[in-house]
Amino acid sequence: TGEPEGILVRTSSKYAPDAKNTDRIPATLLALVRNSEVDDMVASMNDLERTWNHKFNYPWTFFNDEPFSDEFIKKTSAATKAKCNYEVIPDEHWAVPSWIDKDMFDASAAVLEKNGVQYARMMSYHQMCRWNSGMFYKHPALKDVRYYWRVEPKVHFFCDVDYDVFRYMHDNNKTYGFTITLYDDPKTLPTLWPETAKFLADHPTYLKENNAVKWVTDSERRPEHNLNAQGFSTCHFWTNFEVADMEFWRSQVYDDYFNHLDKAGGFFYERWGDAPVHSIAVGLFEDKSKIHWFRDIGYQHIPFFNCPNSPKCKGCVTGRLTDGEPFLHREDCRPNWFKYAHMD
Ligand code: GDP
Ligand code: MN
Give distance in angstroms: CA of 153 to centre of ligand 2: 7
124 CB within 6 A, ligand 1: yes
Instruction: Quote the CA–CA distance of 340 and 65 in Å, as a whole number.
Output: 39
CA angle at residue 34 from 29 to 37, to 5 degrees?
Answer: 90
In this structure, what DSSP letter does residue 332 have? B
Q: By alpha-carbon position, which residue is closest to atom 8 of ligand 1?
A: 152
Active site residues per annotation: 242
Q: By alpha-carbon position, which residue is closest to atom 28 of ligand 1?
A: 33
User: What values do phi and psi take at 86, rounded to 5?
Assistant: -120, 115
* pLDDT at 70 (0 to 100): 98
pTM over 0.90: yes
- Looking at the CA of residue 35, tell me the nearest atom of ligand 1: 26
92-141: per-residue pLDDT in tens? Answer: 999 999 999 999 999 999 999 999 999 999 999 999 999 999 999 999 99
* pLDDT at 6 (0 to 100): 43
Give distance in angstroms: CA of 336 to centre of ligand 1: 28
Report the DSSP beta bridge partners of residue 245.
147
3-class SS at 323? coil
Which one is predicted more confidently, 76 or 20?
Answer: 76
- Looking at the CA of residue 63, tell me the nearest atom of ligand 1: 26
* ipTM, 2 dp: 0.98
DSSP 196-259: HHHHHHH-GGGSPTT--HHHHH--SS-HHHHHHTTT---EEE-TTSEEEEHHHHTSHHHHHHHH
36 CB within 6 A, ligand 1: no
* pLDDT at 7 (0 to 100): 44
- The residue among 131, 124, 173, 163 whose CA lies nearest residue 150 is 131
- The residue among 318, 298, 277, 306 whose CA lies nearest residue 176 is 277
Give distance in angstroms: CA of 246 to centre of ligand 2: 21
In 10 A of CB 196, how many CB atoms? Answer: 23
> Among 63-72, 258-267, 334-343, where is mean pLDDT lowest?
334-343
Give the type of residue at 244.
Answer: A
Average of per-residue pLDDT across 247-264: 98
49-88: per-residue pLDDT in tens? Answer: 999 999 999 999 999 999 999 999 999 999 999 999 999 9
Instruction: Quote the CA–CA distance of 281 and 63 in Å, as a whole number.
Output: 24
143-190: per-residue pLDDT in tens? Answer: 999 999 999 999 999 999 999 999 999 999 999 999 999 999 999 999
- Looking at the CA of residue 64, tell me the nearest atom of ligand 1: 26
Directed axis angle between helix 274-285 and helix 192-202, to 10°? 30
Do the beta carbons of residue 304 and residue 180 sit within 8 Å?
yes
